A and B are shown apart, each in its own frame.
Chain A
Amino acid sequence: MLIEKTRDEVLEDIILSLRNFKKSFGDTQVLQGINLDVRRGEFVTLLGPSGCGKTTVLRIIAGLLDADEGQVILEGNDVTEAPPEKRNVNTVFQSYALFPHMNVGANVGYALRIRGEKKAKIKEEVARALSLVQLEGYERRMPHELSGGERQRVAIARAVIAKPKVLLLDEPLGALDLQLRRQMQIELKRLQRTLGITFIYITHDQEEALNMSNRIAVMRGGVFEQVGTPAEVYDTPRTSYVARFVGEANIICGKAVSVSDGFVTLRTDGGVVTARDGGIKFRAGDDVTISVRRENIQIIDELQDAGLRATVKEKNFVGGLLRTTLELDDGVEIIAARCGIDSPHVPGDVVYVMFTPEHAVAVRELP
C-alpha cells in the first residue's frame, strides 16, 4: 500500500516513519506510542537505560516482532505487516548472531546467496564488504576463531552487503572494551558516511550517542522523552530525566518569583537564581526545575547579585577534571567540574554556587 506522503516528508526526504506504535508483553506495556521520522542518510540514536524498550523498537522496525498498534512506513510503503525478509532493512544484532556453522565468507555473503546471485559475484562482493570493515582475507575463518571486535565487524559487513535502506544496530559496541569502542565509534561513523545508509543506532552510553548521532531520541519507559540534535539534547534538555541521563546535569528546584523575556527567576532555600525558561510558560509562584551542566557551575566565596549558598563536601580528580561535590542549603547535591587539579576550597567550606542564566534551563518534571 502506498501511503500519501505529506509535504514535509517529501521536502525532508523521510525514509522511515514510525507512527504511534505500541507494544505490550502480557500485562506490561513496553512501548507506549513511539513516533519518529528518520531522514535519508541520517544517523539516529535511541538512547536509554537497559529495559526501556530500545531493542523492542528495533525488532518492530525489522519485522521480527509485531506491534500491537501503529505503523512502520519505509520509503512511503506501509511495511507494518511485511515479514522481515520483505523489508529492505538489516540488523546488526546485539549478540552479533554470526552463524556459528558458517565461515566468515558464507556469513557475509548469506544475503546475496538468498537472492540467488552468482558465486563469482558473491565472492567479489564479500571481499569488498570485508575490506570495508578492514578484514581483508578473513573469508575462511570461523566465527569462534575471531575476537570480539572482529566478530562485530563481520556482523556489520554481513548487514551492509545487501545495501539496505536502513541499518539497525543494537548496542553494537556494548561488548567491546573502552579503547576499541572509541576506535569503532569513529570507524562506524566513517562507514556510515561512505555508504550513505541511514543508521538507527541503539546505545545506553550517552557519550557515544552525543559523539556519533545526527539526532538522538532519549527513551524512558517506552516513550521518547526528547528527540533532537546532540546540541539540543545537551544544551536544552526538555525534561529533568533527559538532563540527568545526558551528561548528568545538576537539577535545582524552586518557586518562580519573576518571569521576563525567555528567562525565569526562582527562589530556592539557598538563594535566588535565573535560568532560561526552556519554552515553558511560568507564572509567579509556579514550581520550577532547572538543569545546569557541571562545567557551568562556578564556586565563589562571596555572594554577588545571584547565587546559592552551599557547603563543600568532597573533591575528586577524575578524567582530567576537578570535580567538587557541594550540598545546597535544602540538601540537594550539586557537582561542579572544572579544569585543573586543585582549588582553594576544602570540605566543610561554606561557599556560593552560581552560573550565568544562559547556561541554565528550566525543564519539565515528568513522573
Chain B
Amino acid sequence: MSNKVKSSKRKRSRRSTFPTLYLAILTVLTYVPIAVVVVYSFNESKISSVWSGLSLRWYKELFRDPDMFRALLMSVLLGVSSCLIAAVIATLAAIGLPRAKLPGRKLVEYLSSLPIIIPEIVLGMVFLVYFSLLNLPFGMTTLIIAHTSFCIPYIYMQVKARLIGLDESYYEAARDLGASSIRAFFDITLPLIMPAVISGMFLSFAMSFDDVIISVFVTGVSTDTLPIKVYTQLKTSTTPKINALCTLMLVVTVFCYVMSYVFSRIGRRNMKTQKEREHKEAIRKA
C-alpha cells in the first residue's frame, strides 16, 4: 500500500519534471532569441549590441523608408489575394470532392493536402521552371499563383475537418423545407463552415506573409515582399531597423495564428457531439 503511494508520487513528480525541462529547452532555443530581437528593436543605439535606452526610433525610420513600405504593401496584397483565391478553390474542393463520383476521388483528396509536406525549395524550383516554360513574366501574377497553390491545402484541410463534423441534417432540413441544393448551400452549409474557412485563411495568410523560399524563385524586379527584403538587407547590413521589422512581422504572424485558432473554435457547438456520432456508429454496427 505505502509502496503504491510512493511509486505514484514518484510518477507524478517525474511527470511534472519532464514538461518543465521541455519548457526550459524551448525557451532557451526559441523564445529567448525572439525576446532579444523584440527588446533590441526598442534600442536607441545604432549598434545592435549596445543598449543605450528605450526608443521608437527604428520603427519611425522603418516607416519612413519608402522601399520598406512598398514591400509591406506587396506582402499584404499578395497575402490577401492569394488566400482569397485559395479560399474559394479549397472550399469548393472540400465540398465537391466527397460528392463527386469520379474513380480517382480518394487520390485527388490525398493530393489536395500533399503540397504541405513537399519541401518549399522544391516547390520554388518547380514554379520557376514551370513559369519560365509558360513564358509568364515574373511579378505579382507569378507570386499570387505560387502562394495560392501553397495556401490551398491549409484551407482545404480546415474546411474538410469542419465538414466531416457537420451534421448533414442541417442541409437536409433546408432541402426538406423547400430550398434547392444551391440555396441550401448558401443559406446553411456555407455560414456553418465559414469560421473554418476564415480560420484557414488566417493560417494561410501567415504562411504567405513570412514566405521567403518560394517567393524568391518567382518574384519580379519590383515585387519584393517584406520577408525577401529582410533576407536581402541582412546580407548587406544589419541595422536595428531589421529588429523592428522582424518584431512587426512577428506581431502580424502571431496575430494571424491567434485569429486562426479563435475562428477554428467558433461554431464548434454546431458540430455533431461525440455522443451522437457514437450513437450513429453503434446503430450502423448493430
Cβ contact of B269, chosen from A95, A100, A158, A159, cutoff 8 A: A100
Closest to A155 in B: B173
Q: Does B67 contact A (CB under 8 A)?
A: no
Interface string of A38-71 (1 = CB under 8 A from B): 0000000000001100000000001110000000
Closest to B273 in A: A95
Cβ B169 vs Cβ A158 within 8 A: no
Cβ B283 vs Cβ A50 within 8 A: yes
Complex interface: chain B residues within 8 A of A64 (CB): 172, 175-176
Which of the four size classes fits the interface of chain A? 20 to 34
Q: Does B276 contact A (CB under 8 A)?
A: yes
Interface string of A14-33 (1 = CB under 8 A from B): 00000000000000000000
Interface string of B171-189 (1 = CB under 8 A from A): 0111111111101000110
Interface string of A100-117 (1 = CB under 8 A from B): 110000000011001100
Evaluate whether A83 and B175 lie within 8 angstroms (CB atoms) in the complex, with A93-B169, A95-B276 already known.
yes
How far does the alpha carbon of A309 sit from the alpha carbon of B217 in the complex, in Å? 95
Q: Does A90 contact B (CB under 8 A)?
A: yes
Q: Give A109 Cβ to nearest chain B Cβ, in Å.
A: 10
Closest to B181 in A: A83
Q: Give A359 Cβ to nearest chain B Cβ, in Å.
A: 35
Cβ A101 vs Cβ B191 within 8 A: yes
Q: Give A181 Cβ to nearest chain B Cβ, in Å.
A: 19
Q: Give B268 Cβ to nearest chain A Cβ, in Å.
A: 10
Complex interface: chain B residues within 8 A of A119 (CB): none
Cβ A100 vs Cβ B175 within 8 A: no
Cβ B175 vs Cβ A97 within 8 A: no
Complex interface: chain A residues within 8 A of B276 (CB): 95
Evaluate whether A162 and B178 lie within 8 angstroms (CB atoms) in the complex, with A99-B188, A100-B170, A114-B183 already known.
yes
Which of the four size classes fits the interface of chain B? 20 to 34
Evaluate whether A162 and B177 lie within 8 angstroms (CB atoms) in the complex, with A51-B286, A101-B191, A144-B269 already known.
yes
CB-contacts of A114-133 with B (<8 A): 114-115
How far does the alpha carbon of A162 sit from the alpha carbon of B173 in the complex, in Å? 13
Interface string of B244-285 (1 = CB under 8 A from A): 000000000000000000000001011000001000000100
B interface residue numbers (CB < 8 A to A): 167, 169-170, 172-181, 183, 187-188, 191-192, 267, 269-270, 276, 283, 286
Cβ B179 vs Cβ A90 within 8 A: no
Cβ B174 vs Cβ A99 within 8 A: yes
Evaluate whether A91 and B167 lie within 8 angstroms (CB atoms) in the complex, with A51-B286, A101-B192 already known.
no
Complex interface: chain A residues within 8 A of B172 (CB): 64, 84, 93, 97
Evaluate whether A100 and B177 lie within 8 angstroms (CB atoms) in the complex, with A50-B286, A51-B286, A93-B169 already known.
no
Cβ A93 vs Cβ B173 within 8 A: yes
Cβ B270 vs Cβ A97 within 8 A: no
Residue of B173, B191, B270, B283 with most chain A CB atoms under a 10 A cut-off: B173
How far does the alpha carbon of A45 sit from the alpha carbon of B240 in the complex, in Å? 78
8 extra interface residue pairs, beta carbon distance < 8 Å, beyond A91-B176, A101-B267: A63-B176, A83-B180, A97-B167, A99-B173, A100-B192, A110-B174, A114-B183, A162-B178
Cβ A91 vs Cβ B192 within 8 A: no
Q: Does A349 contact B (CB under 8 A)?
A: no
Q: Does A358 contact B (CB under 8 A)?
A: no
Cβ A90 vs Cβ B177 within 8 A: yes
Q: Give A263 Cβ to nearest chain B Cβ, in Å.
A: 40
Q: Does A269 contact B (CB under 8 A)?
A: no
23 A-B residue pairings within 8 Å (CB atoms): A50-B283, A64-B172, A83-B175, A84-B176, A85-B175, A85-B176, A85-B177, A85-B180, A91-B176, A93-B172, A97-B169, A97-B170, A99-B170, A99-B174, A99-B187, A100-B170, A101-B191, A101-B267, A110-B179, A111-B177, A114-B177, A114-B178, A114-B179
